[in-house]
Amino acid sequence: MSTLTLSYHRYTDRSWRPTTRKLLMLMTVWYQRGRQRQQLAQLTDRELRDIGISHAEAQTEASKPFWQA
Q: Tell me what pLDDT residue 5 has.
A: 60
Q: What averages of pLDDT result for each successive group of 10 residues across the chain (69 residues)?
A: 59 76 95 97 96 96 95
Q: Tell me what pLDDT residue 45 has.
A: 94
Is 7 a member of any domain? no
Give me the DSSP letters along 9-63.
------THHHHHHHHHHHHHHHHHHHHHHHHHHT--HHHHHHHT--HHHHHHHHT
**Is the dihedral angle over the CA atoms 50, 35, 29, 69 positive or is it negative?**
negative
Q: pTM (2 decimals)?
A: 0.71
Q: Tell me what pLDDT residue 16 has.
A: 76
Q: What is the Rg, in whole angstroms, of the alpha carbon atoms belonging to the chain? A: 25
Give the structural domain span for 51: 17-62
Query: Total structural domains in the chain?
Result: 1
Is 37 a member of any domain? yes
